[in-house]
Amino acid sequence: MIISASRRTDIPSLHTKWFINRLKEGYIITQNPINKNNFYKITLNKNIVDIIVFWSKNPDIEFLNEVKDLGYEFYLHFTITAYDENIEKNIPDKYSLIKKFQSISKLFAKEKIVWRYDPIILNDDFDINYHINHFKNFAYSLNGYTDECIFSFVEIYSKIKNSIKNINNDDKVLLIENMKYISEKNNIKLKSCSQDFDNSNIKIEKSACIDKERIQKILGYSIKEKKDKSQRKLCACIESIDIGMYNTCTNGCIYCYANSKNILKDYDANSKILSDKYLNDNINIKERKIIVNEKSKVFKL
């Protein structure tokens, strides 16, 4: 079983104590984000959890160490973009994050940390040259500390459509051609996340953020999970169980789809669910079906 923690919120930065408590207790309660009357109990037994895939903009290193000490395998998506506090309100200085990225890579191996440069916003403030210059500096600093960078372009939805413009395909291609060249110069493979480039000869490999190949290399054994049909059509991720909850992230990124309000007033680090607002004696909690892999060693990293 693969745990995603989380596409919906920044657990390695904001909810570390809560998640460690759930690992120690051995289970978690999640809510279906679409059908909010459905709640599920998910075992976190380390003999059943194959790996945890973390997503963060400012991960806590001590938290990652504690996860490791508890006996869980993981790898981390670490997002470092070129935006300032006007776009990512509560994210630290990016060069301090570069140093943190390097430290995590040294502690846990570069195969366990993936750089995300997403979402890409193109406008008068953040034009192609702006992105190229920052991406070049970041890639140079991360050479040897990761083997992959995943990018995507911002999705325009109702919350942000008045402040962020659509990006034309020619601009996308020009930027990505430059990013690919820079990545290759710095021994980093550039991959796209759920992107499609119209009428372009650009050759960019599609990423799987929940990546079967990476996971098997880290674990040293094969896993059964198949393509996750619940994700977008262009998504190449394999099946996982996301244990996060929307509206629980305080990073303050203006482009984020996962926050329309804040429900953290109900946050309790000792709760079985990330926000205990929804838990009461009347709700029905079901056991979530999981995939159990045989942990027989077939190859090594």
Which pLDDT belongs to residue 232?
76
Which pLDDT belongs to residue 299?
46
In a domain, 259, yes or no: yes
Alpha carbon of residue 15 to chain centroid: 15
In a domain, 299, yes or no: no
Residue-range definition of the domain harbouring residue 146 = 2-287
> Do 76 and 54 contact (CB within 8 A), yes or no?
yes
How far apart (Å, rounded) are the C-alpha atoms in residues 185 and 136?
Answer: 10
The tens digit of pLDDT for each residue in 73-113 reads: 999 999 999 999 999 999 999 999 999 999 999 999 999 99
For residue 247, the 8-state DSSP code is: T
Question: Is the bond into 6 cis (omega within 30 degrees of 0)?
Answer: yes
How far apart (Å, rounded) are the C-alpha atoms in residues 18 and 206?
Answer: 33
Which pLDDT belongs to residue 189?
98
In a domain, 239, yes or no: yes
> Do 243 and 6 contact (CB within 8 A), yes or no?
yes
Strand order through the sheet with 51-56:
205-206, 189-192, 148-153, 113-120, 74-79, 51-56, 2-5, 241-242
> Do 65 and 54 contact (CB within 8 A), yes or no?
no
Which pLDDT belongs to residue 300?
45
In a domain, 301, yes or no: no
How far apart (Å, rounded) are the C-alpha atoms in residues 117 and 114?
Answer: 10
Secondary structure class of 266 (helix, strand, coil): helix
Name the pTM for this structure: 0.92
How far apart (Å, rounded) are the C-alpha atoms in residues 4 and 7?
Answer: 7
In a domain, 210, yes or no: yes
Residue segments in the chain with a per-residue pLDDT below the cut of 70? 156-165, 197-200, 258, 260-261, 276-283, 296-301
In a domain, 31, yes or no: yes
Structurally, the chain folds into a number of domains equal to 1
Which residues touch 84 (CB under 8 Å, ≥6 apart)?
none
